[in-house]
């Protein structure tokens, strides 16, 4: 009887020890894999956010599509659409410029009504949408994959004004 009790107790302790060692090893491996995945995700995000080489404008752009590409590269904007307050696209590098041009005036109306502002930023999970009134005749709609400062927004507006004055 005593041997049976000792066999059961030692079997339970031995089984518990083996299970504990196995689970500890598996948890360590999982943490290592999780750390590697986190590093991969962070490096992928930073590489998509990092600016390409600094874009210098040597000569004024010959047309607005060239200028839209310049703005997109300089300020790391995903999509840029210049449009009229009526919702007609002027120049764009967006995959859906008509949609951007249709939405932008409505967003700006809401921004002016609620916030009394000529620019509005809507922030989503991964993307932000910037809509701003450049001049009474020109609006800008841009998608941004990073935080954008007030100073950058002001510089974008000033650059668009300068280029439009030079082209017109």
Q: What pLDDT digit, counting tens, does each position of 80-106 carry? A: 999 999 999 999 999 999 999 999 999
> Would you give the end-to-end CA distance of the chain in angstroms?
103
| Helix ranges restricted to H, the chain | 2-49, 64-74, 97-115, 150-167
Tell me the CB-side half-sphere exposure of residue 12, using CA atoms within 13 A.
Answer: 5
Check the CA dihedral 19-21-25-30 and report its sign: positive
- Strand order through the sheet with 138-144: 89-92, 77-83, 138-144, 128-135, 119-123
Q: What pLDDT digit, counting tens, does each position of 68-81 carry? A: 998 898 889 999 99
Measured between alpha carbons, how far is 103 from 124 in angstroms, rounded to an integer?
16
Residue recorded with tokens 């999982």: 30
**Cβ 130 vs Cβ 79: under 8 Å:** no
Residue recorded with tokens 């017109």: 168
Q: What pLDDT digit, counting tens, does each position of 7-39 carry? A: 888 888 888 888 998 889 889 998 888 878 777
Tell me the CB-side half-sphere exposure of residue 142, using CA atoms within 13 A.
Answer: 30
**Cβ 131 vs Cβ 143: under 8 Å:** no
At residue 129, does pLDDT exceed 90?
Answer: yes
Measured between alpha carbons, how far is 141 from 108 in angstroms, rounded to an integer?
10
């Amino acid at each position: 009887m005593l041997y049976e009790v000792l066999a059961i107790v030692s079997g339970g302790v031995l089984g518990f020890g083996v299970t504990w060692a196995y689970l500890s090893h598996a948890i360590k491996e999982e943490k290592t894999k999780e750390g590697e995945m986190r590093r991969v995700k962070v490096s992928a995000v930073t590489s998509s956010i990092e600016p390409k080489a600094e874009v210098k404008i040597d000569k004024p752009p010959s047309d607005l599509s060239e200028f839209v590409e310049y703005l997109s590269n300089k300020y790391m904007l995903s999509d840029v659409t210049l449009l009229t307050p009526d919702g007609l696209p002027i120049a764009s590098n967006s995959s859906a410029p008509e949609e951007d041009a249709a939405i932008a005036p409505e967003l700006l109306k809401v921004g002016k009504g609620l916030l009394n502002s000529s620019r509005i930023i809507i922030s989503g999970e991964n993307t932000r949408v910037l809509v701003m009134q450049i001049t009474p005749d020109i609006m800008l709609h841009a998608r941004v994959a990073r935080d954008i400062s007030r100073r950058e927004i002001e510089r974008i507006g000033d650059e668009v004004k300068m280029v439009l004055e030079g082209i017109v």
